[in-house]
Structure 1
């Protein structure tokens, strides 16, 4: 099964939720479609690997060298040492677990490697003005890129967006200040929120606008918009846009059509004659 499309049609958050809820296994490829900027490096393509709806690895290339290079960059092991171990013990499980089994890495190091591997590309991917994506369910999982750890896509999206520094590309995607938020899950949120996100979450499902939340929490409105955007991308809330009801302008009633009645001008002498006649008819005869 292959699914392709553009990020202008489906947001990265929607794609993550689809793969998580469908418990998909395979490779999600994301290729930026963006003009190169002379002041910064062009965005890079990214490959995110899923197993039963959980993210298990991410890489910039498909050469199966990314995790080894990351291990060396973090100062844990040299690539030559890793390759020497792999010659002695052929890879039949995720590389991270294999190195842990040999005592070359510990659990804490694996956690750090996994977080750095999967969280680093997330801010950039969510900031893409346009991109093309493809999910290939037949792509084999790359054991050489896997630490052996996994995480729900919504947790990765939420944690990755917390690292975003430049929100300029996302300004037109933020929820509106006069919108309200409703929860998409019953009870408590299914993922871990930080203290500030919790304070905003307390106003979900209430008729309080984002601007009202900002005033109640003494926060800038833009900060509340960013927090709500993160919750939206994690599939926790949905924006309800409040459309202002315009006061209907009262149009004056249309003038009544002219009646067919004819007005007569009656003289005073004629009225006196009629009254005297009626009085005479009203007197009893002798």
Structure 2
């Protein structure tokens, strides 16, 4: 037998050995996840977006060699989704009305949560919020509100206002998708921007954004809101959406950093009730990685 054939057979046997080692480690990881679920008890918080973000950041930072980074992310996303299903019943409600953009939200959910987690298709973002609030779904996928321009972007019933009106145990934003997006390619549409909601607080990972809903009176400019936010010691990343209810205006804003609901800066923001009469933290997320992270 030629020497190169012998060497090729040896390489293939080595690949088979490594495959079995990877499989053994996957079995061990699954067993550990089951033990974690038992240790948490009946009230286990299965979804941990912050920890998932930290895992992917760490793996991408230590990765080397020719194996594509996007493939690495997809492998771990599939594994994380499958392990979520092992810990407890887990389903995701997705806003996906009709074809086209709706179908892309389903693809985004599949790419993030994997093929094992069942999806519940909803016609409106409001239905997604209700499914999560009522416990019909463990998490929900809703579209990211479009940034407002010079004119106020008004909706009949924005989904995010219900998060501000809900109690502390209601749905909040916990992640932004895609967390890792491939670089733009000619002829390939960019994935939609979406937020994940769940009945839990958002995690702190060291590189985060917080979403707040500010309540004000009429005719309050975004510059005035930004000035009030800065005076309270918060760093605004911009206004995402605005909704008007009579003389009450609600502003969905993004804040740099992790801000919990008990942060004393929030009290300073509403101390004079001008221009902000009330503030609600409606969640937050680990800052998504840029396409350069896959280079």
Q: Given the two structures, how large is their TM-score scaled by the length of structure 2? A: 0.26
User: Which structure has the bigger radius of gyration?
Assistant: 1
Q: Given the two structures, how large is their TM-score scaled by the length of structure 1? A: 0.27
Bigger strand share: 2
Bigger RCO (CA 8 Å, 6+ sep): 1
